[in-house]
Amino acid sequence: QVQLVQSGAEVKKPGSSVKVSCKVSGVAFSTSYITWVRQAPGQGLEWMGRIVPVVGRPSYAQKFQGRVTITADKSTGTAYLEIHSLRSEDTALYYCARQYNNILDYWGRGTRVTVSS
């Protein structure tokens, strides 16, 4: 079956970086859009960006451009989200999801990132 398994919770200091992983199985990883969506505590869903591993060129929401890096390792079927210069407002649950035919059809369980001094 399709699984997106995300890495565990992180606690980071402001100004540091975090890298979250998402291991995908059960679908054609290289030709899928792997999307990152975040959800701040008690808030809604926010699209951050996506990557198609076979192409390797990510797209980002302008808000995150320059501070977020999305990559993919085709050899392991794993996508990554790295956020630099963390601030308290980055405290959120970060989801990876597979996008197919414009539908976010499979989701990971989320990785909680807490930014606190």
**One-letter identity of residue 81:** L
Task: Give the residue with the Cβ less far from another protein, 42 or 89.
Answer: 42
Distance between CA 94 and CA 80 in Å, rounded? 11
One residue of 59, 69, 71, 114 binding another protein per CB under 8 A: 59
Helix (H, G, I), strand (E, B) or coil at 88: helix
**Phi/psi class of residue 93: alpha, beta or left (left: φ > 0; alpha: ψ in -120 to 50)?**
beta
Task: Give the residue with the Cβ less far from another protein, 62 or 75.
Answer: 62
Answer yes or no whether residue 44 interacts with another protein by CB under 8 A.
yes
Stretch touching another protein by CB under 8 A, among 21-29, 67-75, 80-88, 94-102: 94-102
The residue among 42, 23, 43 whose CA lies nearest residue 34 is: 23
Q: Which residues bind another protein (CB under 8 A)?
A: 35, 44-47, 49, 59, 61-62, 95, 97, 101-105, 107-110
